[in-house]
Chain A
């Protein structure tokens, strides 16, 4: 099973998210993450969908997505030609003694502390998935209270634009 990153332009309308997510569950496709937001054109939203599957499944996913009337464009991003980012908010248990060492690690990862309380620290972390996973692993011994992740967002490097893609 390979992971693929799909960038999907859709009409910015209610019901679209349900159609897309419904498609994945109905046809039994595995979805790792889905993030969505408005684009430079407020009438269009862009989804980044991380999926797992072999070539046959991926082709079906692309075709089935294209069949949805509200889907304007589906493109698979080349992993080597794209930038990926995910945002995570991680709430870690802390004590007076442990705080300094946590801050040190946060600095090394170039993360940010966005909230401090007596017994917790909340860290904002941006990066690709591996970086976030690595950070979470290092924080685990301190005791992780909660994690919130946005899922991957991706964009291609250079002057490429997804809306100018030729149809597959």
Chain B
């Protein structure tokens, strides 16, 4: 068969039933094979949307997301989406067309060195030189993308290779001598961790994105309930533990909860699980902290351990497996006093009355109205933190955002991917007027596929988070006013979508009811005061 048909056959072998893409000259052979297959191809409106959609799809389905584009600009447009997925450890297989292999390097029409360009933010990449190697490469790519610390893998396929004839045999297993991820934690280290936990008086769990990536939420819950240790989470770890749990402390970091950051500072043992401990996470902690606390760091990627923060007890492996082992070795602790101390750091905010919608209240209200299986996809900026701080986590709910790279324009396409992965679940995209306009081309994809997504658009007529930063540092703003914003409701109507504009908190409930009852996509545009704060 043709190698392009083999690519599609490999996708079927990997149980892929949905791909996101955008065709072009150097990938037509694959698209012809795709046409004859049963795989659902979702035509995005910009390639970046394909990568974000595949990412949203992967995070909700638990499978590897797949996107396909042509060479040159088709491939380079993917870059931000690939980098976003890499930073958040999302498994993707990205297939790009390339110019004929004998023409590579001559700066042909639509030629770009995409393996070179994405080198530092793909987990691995291949430029296919031999058509016969394609089945092995596809098998390896799916294996590498989904195992260990997940991430995007790119396969660049020259057009003549796509047309070459090969004997198709899909390999049964993968053996890459340079890639043997450690999944089972070292038992000696787990014992040390259990001992440190037993000795500690003010322990704190900090759950990162790795907990949700390894589907370790039930094991985390057992760990928390068995030991009684309070649990905070990072932005990416949101959803690891239900917020209603008595041990739930909330989000740490520069935009985290005061009680969570206070708990971090006053702890004598920190148990990081599947977290990079990046600057925005650690930012809420005091300098002195490291002198007074010990750190257990559980992560599947050994390079993350000790990279940003020193650790006394590293445990390399998969969060789920390690928690299973650890749960057998830990005992119940008396943490009641410690938990009530943490709760005493809670600050109750007094709500300022404004002439506009209070976005924090809006998220709280929506969160109360949403089901236990709802998926909330937050964009980047103030809207992201309003959402992260006010969307209630429940077992079964999901919160997606671009945490590491902080990519504006993520929410709309990622929500589209999430909805395709779980059509029966409620999906809400929370965006600002800035991020909305970065990806509003995807309204076309959402509308054409009749995706029942609720788009919650916070319109403050500016780039609110930058505005706030500039106001704090410079007492003046620069380049943040989104003058001449379009009428977003009319715009959505032009795409055949329904929508409502809301200017007062009192109008929110009726708007949300309407949105959640709507069969197709529905936009709720909330007019927000220009000076609304993030926290």
| A binding-site residues for B, Cβ under 8 Å | 10-11, 14-15, 18-19, 22-23, 26, 56, 59-60, 63-64, 66-72
Chain B interface main SS type: mixed
Within the assembled complex, what's the spacing in Å between the Cα atoms of A60 and B302?
9
A69 touches B124 (CB 8 A): yes
A63 and B303 form a contact (CB under 8 A): yes
- Give the interface centre of B144, B179, B306 by most chain A CB atoms within 10 Å: B179
Closest chain B residue to A71, Cβ basis: B178
Min CB gap A7→B, angstroms = 15
Can you name 7 A-B residue pairings with CB atoms under 8 Å? A14-B127, A22-B119, A63-B307, A66-B302, A69-B123, A69-B176, A70-B178
**Alpha-carbon distance A66/B305, docked complex (angstroms):** 14
Using A69-B144, A70-B178, A71-B178 as known contacts, say yes or no to A18 and B116 having CB atoms under 8 A apart.
Answer: yes
Which residues from B are CB-within-8-Å of A64? 303
Are B306 and A59 in contact, CB atoms less than 8 angstroms apart?
A: yes
A10–B179 CA distance with the chains assembled, in angstroms: 12
Contacting pair B301 A67 (CB below 8 A): yes
Complexed CA–CA distance, A6 and B435 (Å): 45
* Bound CA–CA A138/B307 (angstroms): 44
Which B-chain residue is minimally distant from A19 (CB atoms)? B119
Instruction: Judge if B484 is at the interface, Cβ distance under 8 Å.
Output: no
* A78 CB, min distance to chain B CBs, angstroms: 22
Shortest Cβ distance from A12 into chain B, in angstroms? 12
Q: Give how many B residues have a beta carbon under 8 Å from the other chain's beta carbons.
A: 18
Closest Cβ–Cβ distance, residue B485 to chain A (whole Å): 38
Q: Of A23, A63, A66, A71, which is in contact with the most chain B CB atoms at under 10 Å from its CB?
A: A63
Type the 1/0 row for B305-345, where 1 means its CB is closer than 8 Å to any CB of A. Answer: 01100000000000000000000000000000000000000
Nearest-Cβ distance from residue B446 to partner chain A, whole angstroms: 36
B119 x A11 contact (CB < 8 A): no
The smallest beta-carbon distance between B67 and chain A, in angstroms, is 20
Q: Which residues of B contact A60 (CB under 8 A)?
A: 303, 306-307
Cβ contacts under 8 Å, B119 to chain A? 18-19, 22
Q: Which of B101-124 contact A (CB under 8 A)?
A: 115-116, 119-120, 123-124
Interface status of B36 (Cβ within 8 A of chain A): no
Other than the known A22-B120, A60-B307, A64-B303, what 15 A-B pairs have Cβ atoms closer than 8 Å? A15-B115, A15-B127, A18-B116, A22-B119, A56-B306, A59-B306, A60-B306, A63-B302, A63-B303, A63-B307, A67-B301, A67-B303, A69-B124, A69-B176, A72-B178
- Give B75-116 interface residues, CB cut-off 8 Å to A: 115-116
CB of B475 closer than 8 Å to a CB of A? no
Min CB–CB distance B70 → chain A (angstroms): 21
Minimum distance in angstroms from B290 CB to a CB of chain A:
14
A135 to chain B: closest CB distance in Å?
A: 38
B177 adjacent to chain A (CB < 8 Å): yes
Distance, CA A96 to CA B116, complexed state (A): 52
Closest to B310 in A: A56
Nearest to A27 among chain B residues (CB) is B120
A18-B116, A18-B119 are contacts. A11–B303 as well, Cβ < 8 Å? no
Residue of A nearest to B304 (CB): A63
Assess whether B120 is in contact with A11, with CB atoms less than 8 Å apart. Answer: no
Chain A residues, Cβ within 8 Å of B301: 67
A44, closest chain B residue (CB) = B177
CB distance from B311 to the nearest CB of A (A): 12
A68: which of B115, B116, B178, B307 is its contact (CB, 8 Å)?
B178
Is the pair B120, A26 in contact by a Cβ cutoff of 8 Å?
Answer: yes
**A72 cross-chain contacts in B, Cβ below 8 A:** 177-178
Q: Which residues of A contact B120 (CB under 8 A)?
A: 22-23, 26
B287-308 interface with A by 8 A CB criterion:
301-303, 306-307
Interface string of B182-208 (1 = CB under 8 A from A): 000000000000000000000000000
Q: Chain A residues with Cβ under 8 A from B307's Cβ?
A: 60, 63
Q: Mark B493-532, 1 if CB is under 8 A from A, else 0.
A: 0000000000000000000000000000000000000000
CA distance in complex: A72, B175 (Å): 12
Give CA–CA (A56, B308) in the complex, Å.
Answer: 10
Q: How far is the CB of A164 from chain B (nearest CB, A)?
A: 14
